[in-house]
Amino acid sequence: MPQLGSEVVSQRRRVSLVLLLNAAMIGALVIAGFASNSLGLLSEGGDFFADSVALALGLLAIYLRDHHRNEKATTWVALVNGLWLLALSVWVGTEAVYRLISGTPRSMAGRS
């Protein structure tokens, strides 16, 4: 079992710090997106959220690798992250196509 030395702890701390910064950006982008009815800002918030999910999964992979000797944890994380990004892309694409076809942007707050 790998030692939990300063390199592993440092890796975990760096990923955790980036995750916290991403969470702050998500809040700002979502608030600005709803306030301005901007699909661009909301999709950017979704992108940051997807990054945060990937970082959280990365923390899980680090834990599984270091504590349970699961060397395939990073491969599973990559698969789950790819599927998550695909789902998010389908949602944003569907919303964009709806707006193009309808000719008017719909309110994200009222979904009218």
Ordered by start, the domain boundaries in the chain are 6-102
CB atoms within 10 A of CB 50: 17
Q: What is the pLDDT of residues 72-109, one digit of tens each?
A: 888 888 898 889 889 878 988 998 898 889 886 666 55
Q: What is the pLDDT of residues 5-27, one digit of tens each?
A: 566 668 888 999 999 999 999 99
Specify the residue for token string 């944003």: 92
Q: What is the pLDDT of residues 43-65, one digit of tens each?
A: 899 889 888 988 998 898 888 88
pTM reported for the whole predicted model: 0.64
